[in-house]
Amino acid sequence: MQEIKPIIRQAEALIPTPWGNYNLLAYASHPDEWMPHLALVHENIDFNQPVLIRIHSECITGDLFSSKRCDCGEQLLSAMDKISDEHGILVYLRQEGRGIGIINKLKAYQLQDLGLDTVEANLHLGLSIDARDFTIALSLLNDIGVKKVRLLTNNPDKIEIFNESAIELVERVPLVIVPQEENRDYLMVKKERMGHILKF
């Protein structure tokens, strides 16, 4: 059985959104942490059915500022539309820049402007290609009471965390985003060098 990270539900509140009402749950090891992981749980969720889940890592440039250098913001909005329709859950992990943080991410962007791709830029900075830990999501989902999931993802690493988990992965649901001129190369790197399941 895969080890589940020891993080604790610290707070929760009902949040009305354009996609409906959700319970926003904050998870951290300590109650004074300023950047807890989050779960947005639809108020009408049905735990008797496989739950549509999106595990989304924080991307301040894409999620907040709608940057076109990546597809993160579009993925988030598309996921929320689908989660709203099916009364699911968004797990929002605070792992900015594939886990390297916003400062290193901006440094990597500068290197990309000089011709390196996203993988090469991280390696040039002495950083991991992808430092995220998706198993954190298992702790949140376990606490919420999820038993079966339909996972909204193109990332094989997110699929893999369920292989030895008590939570059953029933189905992978593709998250289709149309490439734009500004992020086509970025998406090709995700597809060709990181194994993401993309068809374009």
Q: Which uninterrupted H or E stretch holds 74? A: helix 72-86
- Note down pLDDT in tens along the chain; length 200 residues: 445 447 899 999 999 999 999 999 999 999 999 999 999 999 999 999 999 999 999 999 999 999 998 889 999 999 999 999 999 999 999 999 888 999 999 999 999 999 998 889 999 999 988 889 999 999 999 999 999 999 999 999 999 999 989 999 999 999 888 878 886 777 776 777 666 777 76
Catalytic residue among 130, 143, 157, 184: 130
Residue closest to 173 by CA, chosen among 72, 46, 52, 6: 52
Active-site annotation holds for 143:
no
Q: Which distant-in-sequence residues (6+ apart) come within 8 Å of 13 by Cβ?
A: 23, 24
Which domains can be identified in the chain, with CATH numbers?
8-95+132-192 (3.40.50.10990), 102-130 (no CATH)
Distance CA 197, CA 25 (A): 30
Going across the sheet that includes 51-57, the strands are 8-17, 20-28, 37-42, 89-93, 51-57, 148-152, 168-173
130 is annotated as an active-site residue: yes
Distance between CA 199 and CA 76 in Å, rounded?
19
Catalytic residue among 69, 98, 132, 172: 132
Which pTM does this prediction carry? 0.91
